[in-house]
Structure 1
Amino acid sequence: MKIKQSTIVKPLPSEELISKHEKFWRLKLPEVFLDFIKTYNGVEVEEATFECNARNYSIERFLCMLDDIENHPKGIYDIDVVVSQIGERLTDNEDLLGAEVLPIASIFAGDFVCLDFRENKDKPLVCVWSHEESGEFEPVFYKIADNFTEFLEIL
């Protein structure tokens, strides 16, 4: 995976912002993912491809965490913004408070790479959310890796 350093979204997320998001989502993000987002918040990548479900995917950019979404030019790439746009298509539980699946990167053609906490709140899987196959409260996911570290190694 080739990082485009000039595309890192500043300011980088603070511990306070991360804690606020984790509380809202009712999730504890994995340390490896936190280290990544604290360094490469919202970064665009080159040559970041992977195979899943007999398809090849290409990551356009990782999502970011921002404190001031409305006034930031990259606000549309904030994780909360993406969750608010597709949230009802990420879960089959209409009564869910918080999140079970969290988008972390946009993929060419409208899909997202996500952290999937549904089976294990402490060790989320990494999956692809298929926008074309998913409906409201009928999400379709395909597993990519057992964890974020393994996912990065695939790229």
Structure 2
Amino acid sequence: MKTVRLDVNTIVFPLPTDELLNVVERSLRVSFPETYRNFIKESNGVVPITNVFSFGHHEYIIEKFLCILNDSEADPISGWYDIEVIITQIGDRLTDNEDLVGMNVVPIAALFSGDFICLDFRETEEPTVVIWFHEESEEFSPVTQRVAPNISEFFGMLKE
């Protein structure tokens, strides 16, 4: 797997423990891939140096990977980048199943344009990586585009 280059000066969030990740997974009713768990335990909320990827005829820029915080309210500014806070803000536009308990599309990175990179658990337990388009998505009608079959391949797409 290609390593995501990080700007170590941007890591300002406490790193999540396995226990905290387990709590978040239970809350969302998903199991994060081990590659993603390892990534977030080392780089919670980081701004990557390798932050550009091409898909189709477009280039996308990752502004920041989202974080997982024990107490997102303790830091009102940084808390806005917590995965569960983002889900609270846009959750009904991330799913097409209004009866779903948990989440099946989980945002993990903010893109320059207000869209998000998400792990998509709708088809399999091993999530694909998709772009979620905020301007086109409506309540219970998310608009996504698959960009990689898994998180490892997505990380391999990133460049400076």
Taking structure 2 as the reference length, the TM-score comes to 0.92
What does residue range 71-86 of structure 1 map to in structure 2 within 5 Å? 71-72=74-75, 73-86=77-90
Distance 1:88 1:16 in 2: 27
Deviations 1:85-140 (A, max 9, x none): 0100001111110010000000001000000000002x100010001111111100
The answer for the alignment partner of 2:135 in structure 1 is 132
Work out the percentage of aligned pairs sharing the same amino acid: 49
Deviations 1:34-56 (A, max 9, x none): 00000000001234111224321
1:143 aligns with 2:146: yes
Aligned pair count reads 154
Taking structure 1 as the reference length, the TM-score comes to 0.95
Structure 2 unpaired stretches of 5+: none
1:38 aligns with 2:44: no
Distance 2:54 2:115 in 1: 14
Q: Does the CA-based 8 Å contact 1:53-1:142 persist in structure 2?
A: no
Q: In the alignment, residue 30 of structure 2 is paired with which amino acid? A: L
Distance 2:16 2:36 in 1: 12
Distance 2:135 2:56 in 1: 14
1:94 aligns with 2:94: no
Q: Look up the SS of the partner of 2:73 in the other structure.
A: coil
Distance 1:39 1:48 in 2: 17
Q: Does the CA-based 8 Å contact 1:43-1:63 persist in structure 2?
A: yes
- Name the Cα RMSD after superposition: 1.1
Structure 1 unpaired stretches of 5+: none
Bigger relative contact order (CA 8 A; separation at least 6): 2
